Structure 1
């Protein structure tokens, strides 16, 4: 998605600092502050519409992080965030939160502090088209102040951090930390780290091998001071005097919780009506190397991607400190574009609210690494890894990547390639013999140990059996196989890039054949990741397998293997016919059923129909989508009595619509409960054929996202009746909320019916073809003009010497030549012959009469002359050649236009 060249974006940016739709109505229970990586991940609660700024930020798993910010106005201090912890006799109180706005890149709070309003902007830039920027592990906190009474006020600001950013709660009492402070002409920064870091280890989900930075730019005539000291000393000093001493008065390295060392930076603005420029702190958590990667038994350590441009963390920090204004401009453009796209689907702004919460949440789960050869791989690929945030430490969980797929397709589908590369190269290695796809590539992020195969208790699985169970072995298959095939095709279509399809075609075919061999029509005894229940013949999982086979057909077509294309096409068509006869009820408004050919009184959420909507398949008729929309639209209605306030359940069971599926306790006590209910609702909304029904379902999801009666982040799995979070807090699965924006035919989507061996060839062919047509037209006009002149003047002058009219200057030998356009094989097949006749000349001869006649006889494109033309032989030959050449040129141009498959490729995505 191009963000910086859009007139509509510019108009939105000029309207307001906030990209909002109305007065604040959206009150999530927690809002993101510094959200960049799995370990730079800070939130703050807004539970019960909390309007106080007296709260400490916390890590995504609700462990407190030491981070506080004060503003001092005319000698009275207020907290902008962070618990003050001081007795009442100190002149310190909580600021009053007037307004909170969340955009995809920013969280903005307007806080009243005496006669001043402070606008606090937490900026975590999202730029998926620039891997250097996206991989920078730094976030901004900016404060703008303005007087509310028009008078000048004496204003100072203060922010500090503690060592709680360095490790998890269980280690803070025993881990010793070290620190230093550096001041240059451009910036000042604190740097702190553990005395004995543990590479690639976590404690309570926090890394134990990173370095924390707290920085501010110098200059602009501002009075900036800094210090290192015990928390009660530094904070008290600011409250009493409005600043801190610019020196270290506590250099004794010690445990994180021993006398609580903190690292403040403060600014004295003096007496002002408003700040001319924002006061900006930069907070960072840097790990280098960031990923421990094993491939084919060889271990490598991968470094962050930003190191391709900045050799040291300090150089990257210096750039970040100086780049705030540009980052803010980029962020505003990004937010405006998302707002525009979301408003086209949901004019009430509710979808935009949810996408604003989801965007940073998804991108903060990623580690982007620099190209480096690993094992036998020597192509220096860029690799991206996803942490299974909200659940555990799994590395790039396939079911979560599949749930988040719409977000990556919307923002920049090219970003999927470095996410898929590690999954594919790991499973394409000689050490992997599994016939089906793995569920992840490691269970202890940030250590990539290799493909993890499905186990019966921990991931969705299915035994693909036909009705004739006596003749087909009972084998376990992995639904991640279907996910991988669908993701691979989606990347190729939306990114206009078939490189992965070519590189790993054998792997894709092996997975597709596994689905076929195990008969993906009838899943048997499957334990679903959605509800933990064991069931057979799930219609949802059956249709996903069928779509996966159709995806393989399209993959084969893009790679150019015609036999495979026909085989997988026919299989998918056959399977879908059976599925439709068994999975849909016989009423006029069919619902998806829990089981194939099962009870007509139960239903399940048809979220696995979304691949057709996303990829442009035609397996299920549009009329069925319309009927399903009507049927589920009736279920969403409040008048239905089902009470679907916060979205629809995965399925109905035992007649209890709200207390099922995700809400049931799994029968298997060892089953780890997981699911992505929020994404599945969004997938379903995207498949609805009616805008009002789609908006209604999205509205129920918004009610959950805006439910601040709990203290949990926007979660992937929650109770559909109460809105209580169950699992998946901060999960990247919320990228599925972008599904309503990613539909076949939407901007940026490439038609899956393109028949090509390479998308890049198609793009070049389209451009080259247009140039070729223009060149042919020019040549034709020139040719006709020369013919006319030669017919008037003759080929010889009066003196018997040859005259050659020269209306144009000679073409230099080095000049570019127009491309040659020949009739396609499709054209010759339509003419009734399988290939172009070898004897048919590309352009008819203009020689003597006998030669022309022979060419006419052998050329099926030649045009016969009337018997009584009244022309002599030479004139007849001349006109015959002219008419034949004109007709052939016309046919060639028609073939070039008609024979080409339709394309809406558009420009390639911007991608570094």
Structure 2
């Protein structure tokens, strides 16, 4: 897991053409709406045009408008449509008006929202340029984040607009979980008791289709019938010359962006140049129902947008609702050892159009199901770690699942994971490992689907080494393997990771499933366990998951992981009915754990060392968590108490460093440590510190796992599925 040059740490800046002045897109970002900041005061109701072109002055009462409320957390970047490695849209600001949504890399994926109230337009989303208009902004009253949705509440001119971005997570329902689609719902009501004529406009730009704005795209409009009486208007666009199974700036170079609206009275649509389409909606309150014939054309050639306008009529006592969805569909989804694999949704629907129609017909039920999941996550997480812990779980769930996707392999479901923002590898084992807790808590069977290709490759795919592989391919979505053995080897790391994940999965499977799984994969799991028996007690000079810290010899934390991996193998052997093997691995693990506790002890006898041969050092022994997770009882309680007390003396304002060498830490490992040491006060500190970082950091990127505990800033990485590790505390209460 190495950091890719230039891929993490900063939001992208596409405001300038190479070597030139501000581009037209840049002008739209910075001057399209007068006086824009991050939902600055010039956007609030009461703002009045200034005599200078392109500026706005605030009316005297603007200062009295209360800032928005964030419940239960102010996200570093707000998850909008976050559903898969290629459907990943975020808002990197507190306010939705005045900032473009972005792909996880920081590249603009423009989305615009404008409401007309009694003929007056108000901006609530994005930073559009509307010729001849100085848009006022709706006041953003609140942002509520749950496990599956982000809900904004806006107000202007006596009207309230609730804007909900819902990216469903559907435990136990592979059909629904396989859909690479996300909902957007606008609900409008009168707040002042009066009737108001309201229209709501949305568009997205061609930037959603490709990482290069010079790419030519094609588009289409169609009407699709769904279950019951549901009909959907679908606007879609795709690269004119797609490159299957490729990426540009981490965005897919093939596939189709689908932008859909549930039909209702007053719905109109249009595909055309951004300034033309937006101006029509603002001026007329409706769209022409036409598609610009000038295609294919470059994304940045008059910036084609795909727009819907909902004329909601006279809004008074009842709430009027508009339902949209956005998605990214690709066929094939990935390649495994040279064979293209279709997305799993193709097993249920013959086309994306039929899938989208089902998705819209299912909207109300999906909202109820996911609301129930939201409540469960909040309830369980609050009980396990308090309200701040519940907030972290809410922020993490969508991001963790969106790093994965479901495919069909010979008619069976598999799940692949992308190592987002670090190396871009396919199904990296030491990225799946820290994410494991979220799947164990919400849907253990999903973890089984993630493990399936990781086990198939060494069993049938040509992996040549005796220890577990690091990943299934150097660059997502191509799981090409490493049959030449040329990869980022982490022998003890990955072998132990696989054994621990398999044992955790087996502990949550029914007995028949556990027995079949353990038997099917016993040969390779025993091979890895035997490697650990030979190498885990003292790993020597090996690479490990925190490779950005550099190689380290005789790592105490890596040794602990290897020993617990041997202990995990005893559980695998028991599930397979191999009682003699189970006893042998259990005995070995106990013997090694006793030696480890002595070898790792510092000369001061008050904490464990970073490495056996480095007295006076220390590190977070987050690998103690699997001991608690699996109930192995290998780490003495006295050692856990000693470490907990020591960590409390090393705390910085925003967390505890990963080790003595740096001020940075990893949030996933902090939560693993908090779970391991949950009986000690330092556990609560770790939760509070990570919450405070996420809630206040100026690094406005999708939740990073690697940050500085003093500077309160991102050190690297963003949007990675490893934030599933936040759920570690929840996995201990079964």
Q: Please indicate the TM-score interval, normalised by the length of the shorter structure.
A: 0.7 to 0.9
Structure with bigger gyration radius: 1
CA distance in 2, matches of 1:684, 1:606: 7
Of residues 384, 388, 399 in structure 1, which corresponds to 2:419?
388
Q: Which residue of 2 aligns with 1:30?
A: 77
Q: Does residue 708 of structure 2 align to residue 734 of structure 1?
A: no
Of residues 639, 653, 670 in structure 2, which corresponds to 1:624?
639
Q: Deviations over 1:86-118 (max 9, x none)?
A: 36x515222221111111100001112332121
**Ranges in structure 1 where 5+ consecutive residues have no aligned partner:** 1-21, 374-379, 462-476, 637-643, 654-658, 663-676, 748-912
CA distance in 2, matches of 1:433, 1:605: 33
RMSD over aligned CA atoms reads: 2.1
Q: Which residue of 1 aligns with 2:86?
A: 39
Q: Does residue 546 of structure 2 align to residue 546 of structure 1?
A: no
Of residues 359, 364, 368 in structure 1, which corresponds to 2:406?
368
Q: Does residue 281 of structure 2 align to residue 281 of structure 1?
A: no
CA contact (8 A) 2:72 2:144 kept: no
CA distance in 2, matches of 1:584, 1:452: 40
Alignment of 1:738-777 (within 5 A): 738-743=727-732, 746-747=733-734
Q: Which residue of 1 aligns with 2:686?
A: 697
Q: Does residue 294 of structure 2 align to residue 247 of structure 1?
A: no
CA distance in 2, matches of 1:166, 1:722: 36
Q: Which residue of 2 aligns with 1:472?
A: none
Cα distance 1:661–1:40, how it changes in 2: closer, same or farther (>3 A)?
Answer: closer
Cα distance 1:120–1:352, how it changes in 2: closer, same or farther (>3 A)?
Answer: same
Cα distance 1:107–1:452, how it changes in 2: closer, same or farther (>3 A)?
Answer: farther
Cα distance 1:619–1:442, how it changes in 2: closer, same or farther (>3 A)?
Answer: same
CA contact (8 A) 1:84 1:92 kept: no
Q: Deviations over 1:172-230 (max 9, x none)?
A: 214243433436682211121122111111111010111111111124xx211111221
Q: Deviations over 1:671-717 (max 9, x none)?
A: xxxxxx11110010001143543111110011111124222221121
CA contact (8 A) 1:35 1:361 kept: yes
> 1:528: how far off?
3.9
Q: Deviations over 1:27-64 (max 9, x none)?
A: 22210000111111100022xxx345121110000000
> 1:255: how far off?
1.7
Cα distance 1:430–1:413, how it changes in 2: closer, same or farther (>3 A)?
Answer: closer
For residue 382 of structure 1, give the secondary structure of its aligned residue in structure 2: strand
Q: Which residue of 1 aligns with 2:701?
A: 712
Q: Which residue of 1 aligns with 2:55?
A: none
Q: Does residue 448 of structure 2 align to residue 417 of structure 1?
A: yes
Cα distance 1:580–1:528, how it changes in 2: closer, same or farther (>3 A)?
Answer: same
For residue 612 of structure 1, give the secondary structure of its aligned residue in structure 2: helix
CA contact (8 A) 1:718 1:725 kept: yes
Cα distance 1:500–1:266, how it changes in 2: closer, same or farther (>3 A)?
Answer: same
CA contact (8 A) 2:96 2:126 kept: no
Q: Deviations over 1:69-102 (max 9, x none)?
A: 1111111111221112236x51522222111111
CA contact (8 A) 2:244 2:254 kept: yes
Q: How many residues are aligned here? A: 658
For residue 702 of structure 1, give the secondary structure of its aligned residue in structure 2: helix
Of residues 67, 71, 84 in structure 1, which corresponds to 2:115?
71
Of residues 502, 510, 521 in structure 2, which corresponds to 1:504?
521
Of the structure 1 ranges 644-653 and 398-407, higher mean CA displacement relative to structure 2 is found in: 644-653
Cα distance 1:288–1:417, how it changes in 2: closer, same or farther (>3 A)?
Answer: same
> 1:577: how far off?
1.2
> 1:249: how far off?
5.0
CA contact (8 A) 2:463 2:481 kept: no
> 1:562: how far off?
2.4
Q: Deviations over 1:102-152 (max 9, x none)?
A: 111000011123321211000011012101111111111111112232211
Q: Which residue of 2 aligns with 1:592?
A: 608
CA distance in 2, matches of 1:52, 1:532: 37
> 1:620: how far off?
1.9
CA contact (8 A) 1:440 1:452 kept: no
Alignment of 1:96-111 (within 5 A): 96-111=139-154
CA distance in 1, matches of 2:476, 2:377: 31
**Ranges in structure 2 where 5+ consecutive residues have no aligned partner:** 1-68
CA contact (8 A) 1:52 1:95 kept: no
Q: Does residue 247 of structure 2 align to residue 202 of structure 1?
A: yes
Of residues 446, 456, 464 in structure 1, which corresponds to 2:477?
446
Q: Does residue 221 of structure 2 align to residue 180 of structure 1?
A: yes
CA contact (8 A) 2:697 2:712 kept: no
Between structures 1 and 2, the one with greater strand share: 2
CA distance in 2, matches of 1:598, 1:232: 64
CA distance in 2, matches of 1:695, 1:634: 14
CA contact (8 A) 2:430 2:494 kept: yes
CA distance in 2, matches of 1:506, 1:38: 33
Cα distance 1:153–1:239, how it changes in 2: closer, same or farther (>3 A)?
Answer: same
